Chain A
């Protein structure tokens, strides 16, 4: 196992690193920027903000999205808010504190310098979004309002009702639309990236499938920016959108980009429970609900049984017979513990038999106390759209009876390995937002994904990409007629032909569901050695079965949803195995990665800083097992502690 040493973190005090980077990075004059082409894949917060800003700076940008419009990227679904260290509430917040909370929330598995930069930039993001006309919530004095989120003891989360992601994305989409209008950005919709093109070891183009015509298309550039989100859908059921997938990143991995910390996946504690085999996705209920909602299960098994039979309503159970288990176990953070802690605690209660729905996999999120304290109108103003959404799905009125919730896969902290410049191990290939691994360690705090996506796109990449491109100003555009493009296209065509040729009798969704079941049961909220070993061999045999039994209708031209899904699931069947391998080697519990063998006497995650204080980064080796490299995590500016939310 080798070590990665080139993370390119600038030297000096943590508070000065980013400033000194910006002061010394190389610049490109406007006349030369016009000669440089950049491909941005993905139009979520990271992709849209990057494409817009690069366009403003004068580069020729080509931006690609899988949906019919860039406005539909899955950032749109983020509900609760975005963190920033403004300290507008005068409650003791600072850049330093946001930095420390994020490092601690990530269970000390993130790169310190990246996290500090994120906290530093957080304030610029709020200013930028306000200037774009993002309608953040305000108080009666006209100033920006804040709320609290898990893992923090200050109110630093800015929000726009329960639709913060939507509003921030529409702000970035507006900026992107402005640049499309100005002619600096060209938009390609309904395109899915299926291969990366390398010229002399540098990323110089992509191969995409046009989802409307079925054509395989080639695009060239001086650099490729990946902002394609996470791989949570490897679990089949997740809060991700249906089209969210890991393929673009995975295909870059297979071209030589290292994949880091794949086993760091986040299970969100407050989602609507699973209710049937036909179910296609899970719906998140924002973490902001934990500001006022109290989580509980009955104390007595007899009450649980009556509830399941419908003989007792939750409201009938007296206060004394309720177990507010988060408040009991973590008195100082209570219902606002980080996501990994809240998820495991729900699982612990349900595993002990106290789950409150028919399947035994649900706990209550109760607003009766908040409604009594604040009045129904205030609760409605804060969470109205979330309550409506719950009522539509669950067919129950959460103003009258507690919500039922259960953890679900939500976010992936792992992703392509990037250095301080957000560059992968392939020169000229950059990864932003959820697609990279860098800022959230082993667990992401609520309201930090939006912050990271926009930090990367608006304020980091435009600097670091310039530093890279300054070497390439004399480099002409590469023709898409070059052999390397033809070869990359052929790989894609061959794979599609192979899928069509299988001619089996099982649908893609059926394989995806089976993969999801293995992942959820053995590589989900709690993991142990034996289960992980079983998962690795089960995924391998499922993959084999897929390539012998899958049925993909062979429409050679035009839209083919089954082919779209088959290509993604084929990649998930490989990625799932890498997640399990990574989880197996990481013999410690940290953040979202919980190994049953490594826990304290009272069931808390037990980290092993001596042996596992590193980022694992994998290099693709074809048919043989991938090679793992380690990036040691040195904490110069925060003290490593066992996380304690008690």
Chain B
């Protein structure tokens, strides 16, 4: 077995993990980032659309360009990135089990650990849901934008959140037909600007509709939709049959939390953030001292907030190691917190802000309870 000793081990080289690495390494900490993929950057390199928000959040810049900049910054920072490296376990005393390139076994000892594992797509089960041609919208996005493979010629998208809308538009750009976007709720889930783009391209968005079944012999040949009533029940007689070879599911994401559970972190349940999420404080530190979280693992948001949370965790972990003075760390954190606050505004942001506040209030509640019992064991 090979051994690695480092100040900070980061799991996940996506937007959160890379930002954490840049901050921590710039402060002088030794940093190693592990990612199971062959390429770093997480979801950023799939994001060929321009980002929203203000200039300091890189509005108007395309996701993959932000990814390229991050990779350059990581290189300059001195942080080491190990790709094709699966972290298969998190053990006592901040020890990680890692298998690299399918053949090398590492034991990694780190003074601090930052979990930035991201999220995975929700799945739905209905008749025909295991036929080839049914896939996550994120999977379809990887195929077209990273691997340059068209998943199908005629597509039905289930879900009109930003993922469903953006991926529908990118499928059109890649040369596929999008037969319809189907949404169970009575209103479109994502931003009007994204919905407008696909409506102008002639794609119908069917609200209060769902998938009744998907049919086909060897693979998807068609999708049967049905309308929903106010109680979300299918209305008999409203079925419509749409010919398609692909059904994409854009029905939300959920945090990838296995390692945080394994470490014994305390969780809370917040549906708006994707279900069970680890408790963390304003430093992104969990209930396990020395274990930090950042990005979608702390609750599903988007890349801009994941980057800010990553910076926060990187600064906090480096400061805890003495690489930054308390004053330096406080000034840096205050700046990040201000930007995070700006991101969590507006119709969608306010909801996330309330959810994140609940998460941190739950953390404070847990800390008070633990202090009563005589401190962390």
Q: Do A and B come from one complex?
A: no
Binding site for A on B (CB under 8 A): none
Q: Which positions in A face B, CB cutoff 8 Å?
A: none
